[in-house]
A = this chain, B = another copy of it.
Amino acid sequence: MKTISLGLIGFGTIGTGVVKLLQESIELIRKRLGANIILKKIADLDITTPRQVTVENSLITIDANDILDDHEISIVIELIGGYEPARSFILEAIRRKKHVVTANKALLATYGNEIFKAAEENGIDIGFEASVGGIIPIIKTLKESLVANRIKSIFGIINGTSNYILSKMTDEGKSFESVLKEAQKLGFAEADPTFDIEGVDTAHKLAIILSLAYGKKVKLEDIHREGITGISQRDIEFARELGYRIKLLAIATQREDYIEARIHPTMIPLNHLLANVNGNFNAFHVVGDAAGSVFLYGQGAGMMPTASAVVGDIVDISRNVLMGISGRVPARSIREYVINDIELMSFNDIVTNYYFRFAALDRPGVLSRIAGILGENNISIAAVIQKGRQKAGTVPIVMTTHKSKENDVQKAIREIDRMEIIHGKTVVIRIEDEKL
């Protein structure tokens, strides 16, 4: 029976999970692959902190070159994350004809063309299923199962931290700040949570998904991106009253001439499957022209689920190694390794439904003045909620709209926010119902 040797760079949480899973599933993999997979070396700068797994000391090194230099190692697993030295290690592994498995979304979203081009030139495979959606087989599904489909739209909940926070706020009525603190304590959120709660991590993943769905590269800065820090308990409650749940959605839609890509908190109907994705789970709702709706759900992060996706890629590449082939499935779905930039639809041109919460002084004629400005800007109102009376201070007035253009909405809201009867900035949350 043949043996395939691996080298692991990065012995953190996911790296530990990969080591553990390889140990636990060695027999299973042997039966399914028909070969042995052995982990020959593990490189990490920190070799003293105890891990949740036992490995022989002789396997461990602080020098990643020990892996890159090892001629027996045919697959390198990069799990250190970030741009450098991950990028250099991967490029060097490729140059030395070693296949690569990585979960590094930031790197692939930014340096994808460079890495995939190098891989193609060297006849090397790159597995990156774990980079988006953890255990969810979204990458394999887009590249293989839906190969004959033009992708009409993708709606994704792809940041576990944000989804955990929004779910807790919704189900337990807690504030953003208190849930964030709780998430940090549980290890579901980083000490600096900016990447997660501001949608940066989501943008990296959406960029990768776009490259698979449309065979084009997106500039990260072109994706309109709003995080969840502006979501208050008040809006969550109004959403519920209107039959919606608020989720941070990554949205990609094929329009006639453009691709629309955006990330923002979104109200979605309570009975949609995506509305029932809670805690730190991730999910994708993909619509293909032939397939129709496909919905995929699972743990988007965490030690063992992510390790499971990494080992899935290791086995996938091992099957190629055993057959003596590479490049069987193109890295980003089309047979071009340097893919072109995509011109996204301008965010101002998107058309969707909206939720507004105005903080208005409780005076006669307020509603008609707001409605008047909306009407002048081609925004037609679908529903209004105005409750309670306030002797002093403001009352919330909530409105939802029929399909409106983002540009018109921005213009109307600027105008409304300038009115003396409106206090503070109007809350704007987009609603998706028809497309789901």
Contacts and interface: CB of A to CB of B under 8 A. Distances in A.
Contacts of A215: 31
A382 interface: no
A291 B295 contact: no
A146 interface: yes
A309 interface: yes
B140 A144 contact: yes
Contact of A290 (B144, B271, B308, B336): B308
Nearest to A307: B290
Interface in A47-78: none
A86 interface: no
A297 interface: yes
A309 B147 contact: no
Nearest 8 A/B pairs, CB to CB: A295-B297, A137-B145, A148-B311, A290-B308, A34-B335, A294-B298, A291-B308, A25-B148
A294 B145 contact: no
Contacts of A129: 145
Interface string A118-161: 00000000000100000111001100111111100000000000
Contact of A148 (B273, B288, B299, B312): B312
A309 B149 CA distance: 10
A37 to B, nearest CB: 10
10 contacts: A33-B147, A135-B288, A137-B140, A148-B311, A291-B305, A293-B299, A294-B298, A295-B296, A295-B297, A319-B328
B140 A145 contact: yes
A3 interface: no
A316 B144 contact: yes
Given A32-B333, A32-B335, A276-B271, A146 B295 contact: no
Contacts of A311: 147-148, 290
Given A294-B298, A328-B323, A308 B135 contact: no
A296 B289 CA distance: 18
A330 interface: yes
Contact of A149 (B25, B140, B149): B25
A297 B273 CA distance: 10
A319 to B, nearest CB: 5
A385 interface: no
Contact of A295 (B29, B295, B307, B325): B295
Contacts of A302: 292
A143 to B, nearest CB: 8
A310 B401 CA distance: 42
A28 interface: yes
A329 interface: yes
A298 B304 contact: no
Given A141-B137, A294-B298, A308 B288 contact: yes
A145 B335 contact: no
B291 A148 contact: no
A344 B215 CA distance: 46
A147 B305 contact: no
A315 interface: yes
B298 A291 contact: yes
Contacts of A296: 294-297
Contact of A21 (B24, B276, B290): B290
Nearest to A295: B297
A334 interface: yes
B149 A308 contact: yes
A418 B328 CA distance: 65
A331 to B, nearest CB: 12
Contacts of A33: 147, 335
A62 to B, nearest CB: 28
A293 B304 contact: no
Nearest to A143: B32
A330 B136 contact: no
Contacts of A329: 319
Given A31-B334, A145-B140, A323-B328, A135 B291 contact: yes
